[in-house]
A and B are shown apart, each in its own frame.
Chain A
Amino acid sequence: MDFLNALVVFLNFVFIPAAAYGAQLALGALGVTLIYGILRFSNFAHGDTMAFGTATVILLTWGLQAIGITAGPLPTALIALPFGIALTALLVLGTDRAVYKFYRRQKAAPIILVMASVGVMFVMNGLTRLLIGVDEYRFDDGARFIMDVRTFREMTGLPEGLALRSTQALTLVVAVIVVVVLFWFLNRTKSGKAMRAYSDNEDLALLSGIDPERVVRLTWIIAAGLATIAGTLYGLDKSFKAFNYFQILLPIFAAAIVGGLGNPVGAIAGGFLVAFSEVAVTYPWVKVVGYLAPWYEPGGLMQLLGTEYKFAVSFVILIVVLLFRPTGLFRGKSV
């Protein structure tokens, strides 16, 4: 019984939140790793692309709600999502035209593109704030819980409760679908293979008749899609605040690098690794330990780090990986 209670507490406070957070990071990291692999630079503007995408989704959601369209038990944001993706794709394609294309034509060193992306990040930062503001917004509607604490207690008779919020379940389901579709696209379709070919050997791709600009455009559209989906899921799960999306860039980069930059499988693994470490390190384990080892009386909360230090976890993971396995867990392109 005590073991079951410990398990329920663990699932409720660590596993489920971390899995949802991990899926959001994985989707973000997939976008970063895709741009790194194909466009050859780390896109610092990815976090703010997520913010912009989410902001458009929120505005569209409000619009839909105002004219009375909702998705029933599901969040209305799901209906707004495709349109949000389209708008974000337009924005990043415009950015590419205005900023990155110039450097690509010059065959500029990728580090210059990295720095340009920092500039783009600041502009998008401002754009998002002009669009929606700096406040915190909640835009989840529909059913809040698939399983709430009280129902779970009544069902099982355990003193501890387990809650599964619909946004968490939604996050995982959408993430799985997106990942399956993305892998199918990259490995099975002609355009996806062309993207991999361009990533492998730009010149030879061109000599095979692959239009490099088309590959670049496709990559941006997919990255915009991934960013908007990741941002919207994150916003539904927690809340939307532009600044948080700027901060989430660090765990996303950590996830992409831990997994091996340029390797999509690595990005997913890295996302979950970072999320689980972050949650596990900042969670007060005293309750779980209390059930598992009742004889042991810890003095404190058994929390390794305060939640305000959660970003330190990403930093530490980054440093450890770069020191001991710079290519990431899965062999990335940075070999």
Chain B
Amino acid sequence: MTDQNATFGNRGNRDASVVNTKGMGTIDGTRRSGPVGAGRAGDPFLIGESMTGGYGKGADILHDCTISVEQGQIAVIVGPNGAGKSTAMKAIFGMLNLRQGSVRLNGQDITALNPQDRVKAGMGFVPQVNNIFPSMTVEENLEMGAYIRRDDIRATMEQVYDLFPAVAEKRRQAAGELSGGQRQQVAVGRALMTQPQVLMLDEPTAGVSPIVMDELFDRIIAIARSGLPVLMVEQNARQAMMIADKAYVLVQGANAHTGTGKELMQNDEVRRTFLGG
């Protein structure tokens, strides 16, 4: 809800005979991209460096936060509720105003790009919720993922179906009719269709059963092993750290601990505060 709506208690937006609030966006699609700068020597593949900023004109949520992921690795962001994990992800994707810091991808400074152009620059993003087109079929969802591509997408589509056989069977069904786990698979599949250079997942296992969660983690590892770097936010800190090449613990929008997953698992403070002993 925008500030404006909140002020008026969302009055006037409830009459569905004149307004359609379903699927309404929060990202400003009218923003134009700025110029792409040069990266810095020795950068990781993707880095959001000393990011400070928040949503709109609101207070800062991130404070000098740095997140990066190397080629072929899995990086996870963990932390308590409200630590700014998803916000950090969105900042890297250009969905909030950065007052300081920069985002650099593959030797380019993309801080000034809008989200649409970051997709074209090679970033794939799977939001936590509302990450499918519910009234479109699974196949159409994947086609939309490949919207920016001009070449033949069938091979990629077959790869996605191979990766997620469960959704392959339902390719003609509306994605909104699938189960939670299958929807997540469609969502990840949609992002893969872009053939991104880096995949960003915002809590891919939120709200799915433990079995489905394990399966999703397996798939994500498989994706990373195929050479595609993965950056993800995860609630299930323990499991996430086990598969992470690099883990970031955020607290109140700032980096609290950084290291390989194993290192952090052995860190007493991290265990006490986030992993429950």
Contact = CB atoms under 8 A, between A and B. Distances in A.
Interface string B12-48: 1101111111111111111000000000000000000
Given A209-B116, A210-B147, A204 B127 contact: yes
B148 interface: yes
B115 A201 contact: no
B143 interface: yes
Nearest to A36: B20
A206 B20 contact: no
Interface in A188-212: 190, 193-194, 196-197, 199-212
B144 interface: yes
A101 B30 CA distance: 8
Contacts of B140: 193, 196-197
B4 to A, nearest CB: 6
B194 A204 contact: no
B125 interface: yes
Interface in B163-194: 190, 194
A180 B30 CA distance: 32
A40 B21 contact: yes
Contacts of A109: 2, 4-5, 10, 12-13, 19
A41 interface: yes
A204 B126 CA distance: 8
Contact of A212 (B20, B29, B131): B29
A206 B27 contact: yes
A134 interface: no
A114 interface: yes
Contacts of A36: 20
Contacts of A107: 2, 25-26, 28
Contacts of B25: 107, 201-203, 205-206, 212
B19 A110 contact: yes
A42 B18 contact: yes
Contacts of B99: none
A199 B17 contact: no
B160 interface: no
B130 interface: yes
A190 B15 CA distance: 32
Given A109-B5, A202-B29, A203-B130, A41 B18 contact: yes
Nearest to B193: A208
Contacts of A207: 93, 115, 119, 125, 127
Interface string B112-125: 00011001100001
A194 B144 contact: yes
Nearest to B18: A42
B134 interface: yes
A104 B28 CA distance: 8
A4 interface: no
Q: Which of A40, A194, A326 has the most CB of B within 10 A?
A: A40
B21 A108 contact: no
A105 B134 CA distance: 25
Nearest to B10: A109
Nearest to B130: A201
B119 A209 contact: yes
Given A109-B4, A193-B143, A206 B16 contact: no
Contacts of A193: 136, 140, 143-144
A322 interface: yes
A196 B133 contact: yes
B27 A203 contact: yes
B131 A204 contact: yes
Nearest to B8: A109
A334 B21 CA distance: 8
A243 to B, nearest CB: 23
Given A209-B119, A257-B17, A326-B17, A202 B24 contact: yes
Interface of B: 2, 4-5, 10, 12-13, 15-30, 93, 115-116, 119-120, 125, 127, 130-136, 140, 143-145, 147-148, 190, 194
22 contacts: A41-B18, A42-B18, A104-B29, A107-B26, A108-B2, A110-B21, A111-B13, A193-B143, A196-B135, A197-B140, A201-B25, A201-B130, A202-B23, A202-B24, A202-B29, A209-B116, A209-B148, A209-B194, A212-B116, A257-B17, A261-B16, A322-B17
Closest 4 CB pairs between A and B?
A: A202-B25, A212-B29, A334-B16, A110-B19
Interface of A: 36-37, 40-42, 101, 104-111, 113-114, 190, 193-194, 196-197, 199-213, 257, 261-262, 322, 326, 333-335
Given A200-B135, A212-B29, 7 more contacts: A105-B28, A107-B2, A109-B19, A202-B27, A204-B127, A210-B144, A261-B17
